[in-house]
Chains A and B, each alone.
Chain A
Amino acid sequence: MIKLNAFFKSFGPKKVLRGLNLETESGEIVTLVGNNGSGKTTLLRILTTLDVPDSYNIAEIDGFDLSTNREEVRSRIGYLSHNPPYYPELTGVENLKFWLDLNSIENSEEKARNLLAQVGLISFSDDLSGNYSRGMIQRLGFSMAISHSPTTLLLDEPFTGLDSEGTEIIKELLLKQKEDGCSIVIVSHDELSYSDRTIKLERGEIA
């Protein structure tokens, strides 16, 4: 669950987020739409703790403050950036296993293969990820985002580069996460039919 109140962020003189208020419930899918530069990605990056807000009254994930409980926040979020990071020298399963091991998750190899099967990459799991297509990287990135059972999923244009099969797989997995009580925020240029709410950002404010 995300709770933001009077949330501000600037880059130099440019005010990117202006007194934003946002609340999401568990098991809710919220789509953030808006033009380029409206502050969508900045908001997501701050929620992941990769960036810091300038000021706020409340900024919490599951009751943990974004500034003072960063480790707790990080352990609760799954994040898929616009260009999912990965190590091209490692295979798909090695990338995922590395991430799981880093987060101290047991049976990492078995869990990694299971996740790759869910996103339809099991037959490519032992191939070097440097040879993956854009859509396959997106699937790998998504499996990393959900691998540690986060309570909040933050997805920046998750359907980029995906074919229709990939889009359907990710959609099914998103609905499963929703059923499990995960709070999901999706940044997208299009409205999504299965989204519970669509919020439009305009110059850092909710329109």
Chain B
Amino acid sequence: MDHLTLFFEAAFIQNLALTFFLGMCMFLAVSKRMDTALGFGLAVFVVQTVTVPVNHLIHQHLLRSGALAWAGLSEVDLSFLGLITYVGVIAAMVQVMEMVLERYAPALARSFGIFLPLLTVNCAILGGSLFMVQRDYSFSQSVVYGAGSGFGWAIAIALLAGVRERLKYADPPAGLRGLGLTFIVVGLISLAFMAFPGIRTG
């Protein structure tokens, strides 16, 4: 598959947030302000672009059935360790990211609060790695897929933040104020994203 096509598909047609509804907790929690949302989208993009290829290498050369043939252990199948390893890689990556942000952008790090460490258990990021394994991407494809899906998630949270900022002056019924209305907004945005599936990218 063409890499540009894969990027477009990962970002728009199979948008992690709006098509698979992955990573919803942070998608809803960090989208109140545009600046925070853009920063967080960037964080997800970077983490995703790094962790998917790294997990790809680990999967291909350590965990996959028969992957340890280079060490003379061709019968060993460590793929049951997949989930915990991917989470470990993501946690390490997020830790590095947190330190970098606290050093160079302390204001942004503060505005993320608890959600930056929680990126470790963000289902969008773990989902990216699991999709990569399931679809059997090559290394270069995993780089493109990681970047594309992270970019798509960042676009989605930026769109949501824009709408939520505009809805600051909305006047919803009392029971819908806050998260209730945001759920409806996410549903409507994902309705708009239904324009993409079916676009012939090849």
* Bind each other: no
Interface residues of A (CB under 8 A from B): none
